[in-house]
Amino acid sequence: MGSCIICGKSVEGRICDLHEEDALFEFRGSRADQLSVDRYYRGSVDGFAEFGVFVDIGDSVTGLLHRSELDQRLDSLDWEPGDAVYVQVKNVRDNGNVDLGWSIRQSEREFRGVLVDDPEIGHSVLLENEDNEDDEEDDEVEPESTADESTSQSDDESSTDDDSTASQSESESTASAGAVSRASDADRVEGTAAVGGNDSGSSAAAVTDSDDTEEADESQAETVAAAIGDLDDHVGADVRLEGEVVGIRQTSGPTVFELQDETGTVDCAAFVEAGVRAYPEVEEDDYVRLEGEVRERRGELQVETEALDVLEAEEREAVEQRLADALDDEARPDTVEPLADDTAVAALSEDLVEAATQIRKAVLTDRPVIVRHANTADGYLAGSALERAALPLVTEQHRRADAKYHYFDRRPIEGGVYDMDDATKDTTTMLDNRERHEEKLPLFVFVAAGGTRESLDGFDLLNVYGAPSVVIDDIDVDGAVVDTVDAVVSPSADSVSETTSTALAANVAAHVNEDVRDDLQHLPAVSFWEDIPEPYVDAASEAGYDETAVSELREAVALEAHYQSYEDKRELITDLVFGDDEEDVGGLAGHIAEQFREKVDEEVSTARANLDHRTVDDVDIAVLDTDAFTHQYEFPPESLLLDELHRDVRDESDAVLGISTDTMYVRANGDLDLHELVSEVSERVPEGGVATRSVREGTIRYLAGERPAVLEATLDVLADEL
């Protein structure tokens, strides 16, 4: 009788039936029928076929690992002939064919023991250098103390054994102890000393107490502090690392902690028992100090963890700050020249760098970037500028073919307001992705959106979960919003009318990725509906866009922004804005712009004919009933129609109001503070439920039953303001 090398149970041989699947076997037989079904064996890749991989088990038997058994596509395997693999024998057919199964454990250290499967002698402990085994046995070298201890223990347990039995026990104990002293350190893992055990169960003492082991421990190099990026210089040495745990995965063998410091990331394997979580107190986002030996596994570095401690208080703060500073240094771009001579942009140099740093940092740390932009021409152009800059960085960071869709997304929103409906959708999606795919919470970048207090509820929901956010808007962003988000790019109050969100976002994009600077030159000019600043006209001209091309592109984007308004339409917008399609897309913008002009001209003509001009204190205000005189839910939307109508009648009217059942659009020739307007109207109609809907769109809401009173109050307040 012997003892199971894992649980110590008395068995015939070295392993009990319960733990046989936890052990790895090296086959020394010569025929397929000598294999044991359900055992895991070390093999080597022999060759490939369309239906699977041929694997040599030992020197004389070859089995088939069918492609249906693999956890990935056959053509994605990085195996080469001769590579070591670990497989399970599923079936041995009568004709000698061997069916193999995939083992989730693909390294020797993930098994709890390694045994030789020799049909002639049964199993024995696998030695590191068995070529020398015969020579060592011939020399009859007996371990100094282990053999005596084993023999003594055997005598105590069975004093009635005859002389021949005692002699046999002593011989086996001696051989096994010698095997332990020669076992490969590379094949041992923490907590598995019993793997090298013999029938009497004395191997643990051999590992712990042998003079050879003590001398080896004393000769080990002192643990040195190291950076992950320098581990190539420390292979085989004991190191001490400090960093953040950015991932934890439990294999069927060890627990693998993904540790990151300011120089890189490395897998650190910790083993207690096969499939059992090591250091259960350690969680993702913890900052830790880890000690272990650096080893190379299948061409990649890995640290075999010997000690792992969670850092607290000042120690954690110091490491956390060190990593944050290093990431900021790596992500922070140099200041680049503005795309054109724009004083509003030049005054925001530091803000542009900070916003670009947030985006670059997200890409470097595998954090998805979600751009939320208004579903207008300005919003789409601004969002596309950031997309143009970020996608090459995402592709460089992630080699996956779909990375540019997985780590960057644009999501248009209505009215430039990030309300609770939008925030709830985003929060639900990001939490689902975190739970199902272990994805980091995204960075939200709001462009031509989110700059007013109407978005605060949405931002507050994101902040509950700690999702970072950036706002890029051409309005004077509300102070409460500035205090809520992580970075803001917004012109000063006296420069609001001089720039657009696209001009701001394109300059942020040039900081994110200066390589795409030339692609962005024409975008600011396209975003101005009128009075394009001369520097942007020149920049667009240098990029090959004359006045007609700029106008057509603006109108084409505005039309497409309306249809499927909640979709990013990435490829179509890219073709329009950058002309990336290899096919001729030169006429695409012109074709779509022609539809824009036909639809808008018809609607403006109809609306103009049905304006109700109201005069209050010599102020002319044109009122349009949008319920009666527009095609609702069709192009153009009310906001764009009122913009066009206001430009058309501004010489004869001081303001234009578009009024529907419960919504009013306000357009005025002079500066108008919509929040002050709403406050005044609300005081005059306290039962009207008057509230700002979207400052960017110039819209307010009220109760439908109070529509007449709200209209009259608005006319009076406008007359006073204008």
Same domain membership, residue 176 and residue 112 = yes
Same domain membership, residue 83 and residue 9 = yes
Same domain membership, residue 484 and residue 349 = yes
pLDDT tens-digit series, residues 434-450: 888 878 899 999 999 99
Is 160 domain-assigned?
yes
Report cis status (omega within 30 of 0) of the bond before 636: yes
pLDDT at 400: 66
**Looking at this protein, which amino acid is placed at residue 394?**
V
pLDDT tens-digit series, residues 532-583: 999 999 999 999 999 999 999 999 999 999 998 889 999 999 999 998 654 4
pLDDT at 545: 94
pLDDT tens-digit series, residues 396-449: 887 666 788 889 999 999 989 999 999 999 999 999 998 888 788 999 999 999
Same domain membership, residue 124 and residue 32 = yes
Query: What is each CA distance from 386 to 466, 579, 659, in whole angstroms?
Result: 23, 16, 36
Same domain membership, residue 169 and residue 89 = yes
Q: At 207, is the pLDDT very low, low, confident or very high (cuts 50, 70, 90)?
A: very low
CATH number for the domain that contains residue 63: 2.40.50.140
Same domain membership, residue 403 and residue 347 = yes
Asked if the model's pLDDT at residue 594 lies above 80, the reply is: yes
Is 464 domain-assigned?
yes
Same domain membership, residue 230 and residue 206 = no
Distance CA 384, CA 570 (A): 8
Is 122 domain-assigned?
yes
Is 9 domain-assigned?
yes
Q: Which of 488, 517, 546 is the last residue of a domain?
A: 517
By residue range, what is the domain housing residue 136? 2-213
Same domain membership, residue 208 and residue 353 = no
Same domain membership, residue 356 and residue 252 = no
User: Helix, strand or coil for residue 646?
Assistant: helix
Query: What is each CA distance from 267 to 85, 244, 279, 292, 303, in whole angstroms?
Result: 20, 12, 15, 11, 6
Same domain membership, residue 168 and residue 240 = no
Q: Which of 295, 327, 359 is the last residue of a domain?
A: 327
Alpha carbons within 13 angstroms on the beta-carbon side of residue 528 total 19
pLDDT at 221: 54
Q: Pick from 544, 543, 517, 522: which is nearest to 532 by CA?
A: 522
CATH number for the domain that contains residue 447: 3.40.50
Instruction: Name the pairing type of β-strands 122-125 and 238-250.
Output: unpaired
Same domain membership, residue 488 and residue 430 = yes
Q: Which of 463, 497, 517 is the last residue of a domain?
A: 517
pLDDT at 559: 96
Is 552 domain-assigned?
no
Q: Pick from 125, 123, 133, 63: which is nearest to 93 by CA?
A: 63
Tell whether the torsion through CA atoms of 672, 673, 676 and 677 is positive or negative: positive
Asked if the model's pLDDT at residue 610 lies above 90, the reply is: yes
